[in-house]
């Protein structure tokens, strides 16, 4: 029995990769990372919207493509390989899933149609539910919210935000509400945006089904973790490819460094450790839609394991490049930092493994 990506999924992924190769070269990424090319970033984002990224998971009845999470994971892998400087995981994966599983019929009709037609864009902040901080927190009372939300992803140009309380209730806030203050966070990963949001009597639209059950927020978090794992797999593969290419060209003592046993071992170890990560991510994405009893555990396992492998790959790939690996000339650090940020978003490997243990009754 064959288990892997279908021809359609591979074709869509290849289109995403080719678009990024053509429109988001390393020089373009540098400009965007330095904050000098907002227009370029918008063009890249619009080009990927034209491919249908905003409508992947949304059911056809709401104007979407009605695809599954495995399809979305294939896309996320492609975006990671190209260190795409766009919103995706929060805006077009987590937000639709939160609304589909936690919203009323009226909320689905309202928001999903607008997401699929690119009329609105969401940022997502669920850190209060995943790992609350002492100096933050959100309090909801009488359809208003007060407090602070940390590590909100995809907040750049967002028209709405989906946030959560510590108890798992999710709600929607409009970004133009007078009670919202947005603070852009400084991050090592310059290819994506992260925000802190301060709210004072901001009006909310509560996702009705999230007040009585954790199902919707758990599904949302699981999907986000699988997408981060897929993104890391894509970024890690590029770092391995770059290391092998460099090892075939760079010479020391009159020989290409790829002929040295130590360098061969590093490249082989990276490839051997990353290869199984494809299967664990694909299986986790498949379980999300098809095997609900395994879905949460597989999401945790894929996020925690791929995070550790990605960390190893990013370090060894930099070592293979020697001193050049630390320079901006090669730009290897963009993939390195992307992997590092993915490791921490929606729970560090240690926190996620603890969750996996609890799921299994440990």
Helices 69-81/7-23 angle, 10° precision: 30
Count of beta carbons in the 10 Å neighbourhood of residue 357: 12
Residues 100, 112: contact at Cβ < 8 Å?
A: yes
Query: Under the phi-then-psi rule, with left for phi > 0, alpha for psi from -120 to 50, and beta for the rest, what region is 254?
Result: left
| Residue 123 backbone phi and psi in degrees, to 5 | -105, 155
Specify the pTM: 0.95
User: For 328, what's the count of Cα atoms within 13 Å in the CB-facing half-sphere?
Assistant: 6
Give me the residue spans of the domains in the chain. 7-116, 122-210, 215-359
* The pLDDT value given to residue 1: 56
pLDDT value at residue 292: 86
pLDDT at 186: 86
Judge if 7-116 and 215-359 fold alike in CATH terms.
no
CATH 2.20.25.90 fits 122-210, yes or no: no
Query: Residues of the chain whose pLDDT is less than 50?
Result: none
Please enumerate in sequence order all residues whose Cβ is within 8 A of that of 24, keeping only pairs 6 or more positions apart, or say none: 44, 82, 83, 84, 85
CATH T-level assignment (fold) for domain 7-116? Butyryl-Coa Dehydrogenase, subunit A; domain 1 (1.10.540)
Say what the pLDDT of residue 2 is: 67
Q: Is domain 215-359 classified as CATH 1.20.140.10? A: yes
Each residue's pLDDT tens digit, 226-239 = 999 999 999 999 99
Q: Is 154 helix (H, G, I), strand (E, B) or coil?
A: coil
């Amino acid at each position: 029995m064959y288990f892997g990506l279908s021809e359609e999924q591979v074709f869509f992924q290849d289109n995403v990769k080719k678009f990024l190769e053509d429109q988001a070269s390393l020089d373009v990424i540098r400009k965007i990372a330095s904050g000098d090319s907002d227009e370029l970033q918008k063009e890249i984002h619009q080009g990927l919207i034209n491919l249908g990224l905003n409508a992947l998971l949304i059911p056809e009845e709401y104007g979407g493509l009605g695809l599954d999470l495995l399809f979305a994971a294939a896309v996320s892998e492609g975006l990671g390989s190209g260190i795409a400087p766009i919103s995706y995981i929060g805006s077009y994966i987590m937000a639709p899933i939160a609304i589909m599983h936690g919203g009323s019929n009226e909320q689905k009709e309202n928001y999903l149609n607008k997401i699929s037609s690119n009329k609105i864009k969401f940022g997502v902040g669920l850190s209060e539910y995943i790992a609350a901080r002492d100096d933050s927190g959100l309090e909801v009372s009488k359809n208003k919210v007060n407090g602070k939300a940390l590590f909100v992803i995809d907040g750049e140009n967002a028209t709405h935000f989906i946030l959560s309380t510590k108890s798992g209730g999710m709600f929607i806030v409009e970004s133009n509400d007078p009670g919202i203050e947005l603070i852009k966070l400084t991050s090592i990963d310059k290819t994506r945006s992260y925000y802190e949001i301060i709210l004072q009597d901001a009006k909310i639209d509560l996702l009705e089904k999230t007040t009585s059950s954790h199902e919707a927020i758990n599904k949302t978090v699981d999907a986000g973790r699988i997408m981060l794992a897929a993104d890391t797999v894509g970024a890690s593969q590029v770092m391995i490819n770059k290391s092998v290419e460099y090892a075939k060209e760079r010479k020391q003592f009159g020989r290409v460094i790829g002929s040295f046993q130590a360098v061969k071992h590093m490249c082989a170890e990276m490839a051997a450790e990353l290869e199984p990560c494809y299967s664990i991510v694909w299986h986790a994405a498949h379980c999300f839609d098809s095997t609900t009893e395994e879905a949460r555990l597989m999401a945790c396992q894929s996020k925690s394991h791929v995070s550790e492998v990605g960390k190893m790959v990013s370090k060894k790939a930099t070592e293979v490049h020697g001193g050049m690996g630390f320079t901006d000339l090669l730009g290897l650090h963009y993939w390195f930092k992307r992997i590092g940020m993915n490791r921490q978003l929606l729970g560090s490997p240690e926190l996620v493994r603890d969750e996996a243990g609890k799921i299994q009754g440990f």
